[in-house]
Amino acid sequence: MTKTRADRRRKLRIALALTGLSVVLGACNTTEIVTQTVPTDYRQRHPIAVQEGKKSIVIFVGKARGGLSAAQHADVAGIARDWVREGTGSVVVDVPVDTANSRAAAATYQEIRSALTSGGVPSRAIVQHPYRPEDPGLLPTIRLSYSKIAAVAGPCGLWPEDVGPTILDPGYNENRPYFNLGCASQRNLAAMIDNPADLEQPRAETPAYTARRDIAFERYRKGTPIATPSSESDKAKLSDTGK
C-alpha cells in the first residue's frame, strides 16, 4: 500500500515537472502578432488605380426614321476622335434585331460606320454586334463602346466601423479619420485625369516654338520691349460689360 502511494506521488511530480517545462518552452517560442489597422493617409485607404475601362454612347433610333440627326452625327464624330487618341480595342456597335426599329437601326448603322471611318477609325476596327433586347417595352438603341485606359478609385460609401462614440471602435479615442474620408476626392481626381500615364511618369517634352522664341530673343538683344505694344487709347478704355 505504501509502495503504491509512493509510485503515485512520483508520477504526479513527473507530470508537474513536464507541465512546467512545456510552459517555459512555449514562452520562449512566442510569435509576435501585429494587428492590421486602417491606414491614416487617405491616399493609402483609397488609392487611384490604372485599369482598362470602357467608354460608350447611346444612339436612339425611331422605327420610322433611319440615319443620324445632326446632334447624333456630332456624338459619333466625337467617339471617333476620342478612339484615335485613347482607344485600346475595336469600336463595338450593338445593333438591335427583330424589333420594330430594326430596319431603321440597320440603315443608321451604315451611316455610323461611315462617320467613324471619316473620323479616323479603320474599317477593320469597327465590329457590329447584333442583339435582341430583353425588355420589349423599352426603345431598342444602338450603343457604341470601346476599351480605354482609365484611372479609377473607390468604391466609396463603405463604413466598416461606427463613426460615433462607441467602445467597439478602437480608433475613436485616438482621433483617427474614418474610413470613407477622402474617397470622394480621390474618385473625382481620377475622373478628371486626362491621361492616366501621368500618374506613373512625366510626359516627354514637346518641340519649342522657335519662331516666337527667335523674335523674343532678337528684341531682348536690341533692348526693345518684348511685350506686345498697345496704344494709349486702349490703356484707358473701359469695358462695356453690363451696359
Q: What is the pTM of this model?
A: 0.61
**What is the domain-level CATH number for residue 108?**
3.30.1330.60
Residue written as grid cell 470602357:
54
Average pLDDT estimate for 222-227: 79
Residue 45's H or E segment, with its range, is helix 42-45
Residues 18-48 pLDDT 10s? 666 555 555 554 444 333 456 788 888 899 9
User: Is residue 109 one of the residues assigned to a domain?
Assistant: yes
User: Is residue 214 one of the residues assigned to a domain?
Assistant: no
The whole domain housing 96 covers 49-150
Q: How far apart are CA 68 and CA 76, in angstroms?
A: 9
pLDDT given for residue 231 in this prediction: 67
Q: What is the three-class DSSP state of 196?
A: helix
Q: What percent of the chain has pLDDT over 70?
A: 75
Question: In this structure, which long-range contacts are made by residues 183-188, counting pairs with CB atoms below 8 Å and at least 24 apart in sequence?
Answer: 183/42, 183/45, 183/46, 183/153, 183/154, 183/155, 183/156, 183/157, 183/158, 184/156, 185/42, 186/42, 186/43, 186/46, 186/47, 186/48, 186/153, 186/154, 187/46, 187/152, 187/153, 187/154, 187/156
pLDDT given for residue 185 in this prediction: 94
How sure is the predictor about 144, in pLDDT bands with cuts at 50, 70 and 90? very high
User: Is residue 176 one of the residues assigned to a domain?
Assistant: no
Average pLDDT estimate for 205-209: 83
Residue written as grid cell 471611318:
117
User: Is residue 122 one of the residues assigned to a domain?
Assistant: yes
How sure is the predictor about 64, in pLDDT bands with cuts at 50, 70 and 90? confident
User: Is residue 24 one of the residues assigned to a domain?
Assistant: no
Residue written as grid cell 491606414:
39
**How many domains does the structure of the chain reveal?**
1
pLDDT given for residue 31 in this prediction: 41
Average pLDDT estimate for 134-151: 90
